[in-house]
Amino acid sequence: MKKIIILLFVLFVFSTVTQAAEGVITKTSKHSVKQTMDTLEKIVRDKGFNVAARVNHAAAATKVGETLRPTEVLIFGNPKLGTLLMQSDQTIGIDLPLKVLVYEDEKGSVTLAYNDPTWLAKRHNIADRDKAFAKMSGALNNFTNAAVK
């Protein structure tokens, strides 16, 4: 009986965590937020992607008299690929261009996070662009792995 209760508790905890982060891929970085984001931005630019913006949330917080641990977002994309996806369902435009978040938590660990393209396909009910989503997933995985090394 005790084993069953423990199993139910573990299942409850893991199902709660999964629901809270549904569709988000996270990776721990060995570098600071700035170094991780600098590396990611260079990779993205070198691969020919358009960088729309780099948002420094911590700097914005300082401007309004608040504090925030280092937190940045890189917004970038490939219009050729994004257009194909929007031709299938324009609502995916709310999630494009892609965004990668890098932040430092309360323990000083740096995490990189982004929306899983497979989850985006499901979210927007796009079933006719599997190759495009696979390409996007592969690129994001490679870029972010290199940035956190």
Tell me what pLDDT residue 21 has: 77
Structure tokens at 4: 């069953």
Q: pLDDT by residue for the chain (149 residues), tens digit each?
A: 554 444 333 334 333 333 337 899 999 999 999 999 999 999 999 999 999 999 999 999 999 999 999 999 999 999 999 999 999 999 999 999 999 999 999 999 999 999 999 999 999 999 999 999 999 999 999 999 999 99
Asked if residue 18 is part of any domain, the answer here is: no
Asked if residue 37 is part of any domain, the answer here is: yes
**Cβ proximity of 74 and 54 under 8 Å:** yes
Asked if residue 137 is part of any domain, the answer here is: yes
Query: Can you tell me the distance from the alpha carbon of 66 to that of 64, in angstroms, rounded to the nearest whole number?
Result: 6
Asked if residue 71 is part of any domain, the answer here is: yes
Q: Which structural domain range is residue 129 located in?
A: 23-148
Number of structural domains found in the chain: 1
**Cβ proximity of 139 and 61 under 8 Å:** no
Query: Can you tell me the distance from the alpha carbon of 74 to that of 62, in angstroms, rounded to the nearest whole number?
Result: 19
Query: Can you tell me the distance from the alpha carbon of 74 to that of 54, in angstroms, rounded to the nearest whole number?
Result: 5
Tell me what pLDDT residue 1 has: 54
Whole-prediction pTM: 0.84
Asked if residue 11 is part of any domain, the answer here is: no
CATH number at residue 63: 3.30.310.70
